[in-house]
Structure 1
């Protein structure tokens, strides 16, 4: 019998002074059996970083569906406006996403993020609608330790850093924007 996804419920209280966005969102996220808690929490952080007042940003089937990103924003016609990947996606996947969406974002994390970037950087130069960010290793690991099946997260974003606190503790994640051109 196949393992089932684990459901997590999160109340996100977002204070993003960089964008001037302040709101609360209640979200339900399914954690794939092969997904780590760190990756789940980075998906929640991605939601906080890119949520806006129109509330059109949504989680997808993620790891369960290879043709979908981790999060996306669609318009009323179903056209993909924003495609958000978490992790270290294949160069071909990112370029395909750039053809399907007007805005593609990759949140790279983990000890191999710099090596991944070195390998895909030149191939992604032509993608003008791509933004790539790398999260610091220690901060993303701390973030993973905050995961609980039901959680309330206070997320303060300022000066390329996200400070996340909950009853389980706190984490500070530094976010560095990478440029595709060498």
Structure 2
């Protein structure tokens, strides 16, 4: 954990109807001093939306060796590399060679990310999924973040319903490949 990191706790009721995943999660999230609330919340949502056995938060924002969220199998092999924010094409190229599955969750404009990756070498780019949310969703949700959080995450038919410390917001989960297949 980075010096000066602030710890946030999230008690999450997860009901992902689309994937058949239902669980209660108790997450301790270290927020690096340079990390925004929007990035941290997107990281927590990525964790919830990708939740499966072997999932963990990466080493942190300052680590170049791991993503924001990582999934390992019982042997320690990386099965999923989940980036948050706006990773560059070189990082995605590395990730998709290393992991069976690569995804990106962004709180930014996905069109800008796709434009930044256009024409760059990205291994299996057509298999990398870019997920984003409706404009304003993350900003509305971050207004409710506290040090200790109770959260309900429900997903049904590609729509995310979030209750965070009594505030209710919802969004479609937008999903596009990092690059269309040729």
Q: TM-score, normalised by structure 1?
A: 0.90
- 1:173 Cα deviation from its structure 2 partner: 2.8
Q: Which residue of 2 aligns with 1:152?
A: 150
Q: Which residue of 2 aligns with 1:181?
A: 180
Alpha carbons of 1:46 and 1:4: their partners in 2 closer, same or farther (altered >3 Å)? same
SS of equivalent residue, structure 1 residue 34: coil
- 1:128 Cα deviation from its structure 2 partner: 4.8
Q: Which residue of 2 aligns with 1:39?
A: 39
SS of equivalent residue, structure 2 residue 61: helix
CA distance in 2, matches of 1:45, 1:166: 11
Structure 1, residues 91-113: CA drift from partner, whole Å, max 9, x if none? 01001000111110101222x43
CA contact (8 A) 1:162 1:173 kept: yes
- 1:3 Cα deviation from its structure 2 partner: 5.3
CA contact (8 A) 1:143 1:173 kept: no
- 1:87 Cα deviation from its structure 2 partner: 0.6
Structure 1, residues 119-149: CA drift from partner, whole Å, max 9, x if none? 2144347435421112222112112222111
The 5-angstrom pairing of residues 64-79 of structure 1 reads 64-79=62-77
The 5-angstrom pairing of residues 32-181 of structure 1 reads 32-52=32-52, 54=53, 56-110=54-108, 112-123=109-120, 124=122, 126-179=124-177, 180-181=179-180
Q: TM-score, normalised by structure 2?
A: 0.90
Unaligned runs of 5+ in 1: none
CA contact (8 A) 1:125 1:181 kept: no
Q: Which residue of 2 aligns with 1:22?
A: 22
CA distance in 1, matches of 2:23, 2:124: 35
Unaligned runs of 5+ in 2: none
CA distance in 2, matches of 1:161, 1:36: 24
Q: Which residue of 2 aligns with 1:6?
A: 6
What is the root-mean-square deviation in Å for CA atoms of aligned residues? Answer: 1.8
CA distance in 2, matches of 1:21, 1:30: 25
CA distance in 2, matches of 1:117, 1:125: 15
Q: Which runs of 4+ in 1 moved over 6 A?
A: none
SS of equivalent residue, structure 1 residue 41: helix
CA contact (8 A) 2:82 2:103 kept: yes
CA distance in 2, matches of 1:127, 1:166: 34
CA distance in 1, matches of 2:22, 2:58: 24
